[in-house]
Every structure is written in structure tokens, then in C-alpha cells.
Amino acid sequence: MPLTAQQKKHYRAIGHKLNPVVIVAGNGLSEGVIEETLRALEDHELIKVKFQVGDREVKKSLIPQLCQQCDAELVQTIGNIALILKHASKPKVQLSNLTRPI
């Protein structure tokens, strides 16, 4: 289900202070990148992903692919950074960026 404008605003506020935890570089969306993204989403639920692929068109195609393969929602993109969200099946209160205070 797509996020509402109010939800996106809330998640962007939380994501503002976050640092990228996954970096997509020259190899694109390798199996390791997908696995690491899934692990980070399971732990933190809301993460930033940095894309260092060089070409703008490649980056624009990789972001939706990553969200689709991880079954995640794109909250925002700014430059080379994408903020993505996937609610965990069993949230970890100490690690989740959604349950920790802003």
C-alpha cells in the first residue's frame, strides 16, 4: 500500500538524522547488496541507501529495482541517497529507527 503524504513527512523527519547503511556501487544490485539491504531493513525498518553508480539514469533504474526486490517502500530520494522503509515482522525495539526517539 502506498504511503500517504503525512506518513512520508513523518518518515523523512526520522530519516533526516540517519546515515547510509548500504552502498550500491559499480557492481549494481548484486546478491550481497540485496542480502545486506534485507538484513538492515529487518533490523532498522527505515534505512538510507547510497548509490555510487555514476550515471543518473542507472541510479534512477536501480532504486525501484532495489525496493521491488526487497519488498520495500521508497520514502524519498535526494541526490544519491534513497530513504526506504519496510516494516519488520518482529521489530527490534533497540535497533528500529521507527521506535527509537527522534
pTM of the predicted model as reported, rounded to 2 decimal places: 0.91
Architecture of the domain spanning 5-85: 2-Layer Sandwich (3.30)
Give percent of the chain with pLDDT exceeding 70.
Answer: 97
Look up residue 93 and give its amino acid. Answer: V
Domains of the chain, residue spans:
5-85
Q: What is the pLDDT of residues 9-27, one digit of tens each?
A: 999 999 999 999 999 998 8
Q: What is the pLDDT of residues 39-89, one digit of tens each?
A: 999 999 999 999 998 888 999 999 999 999 999 999 999 999 999 999 988
User: What b/e sequence results for 4-22 when a residue is b if at least 16 CB atoms lie within 10 Å of its CB, and e otherwise?
Assistant: eeeebeebeebbeeeebbb
DSSP-based three-state secondary structure for 35: helix
Q: How far is CA 4 from CA 8, 43, 61, in A?
A: 6, 23, 23
* Residue 34 parent element (H or E): helix 31-44
Would you say residue 1 has pLDDT above 80?
no
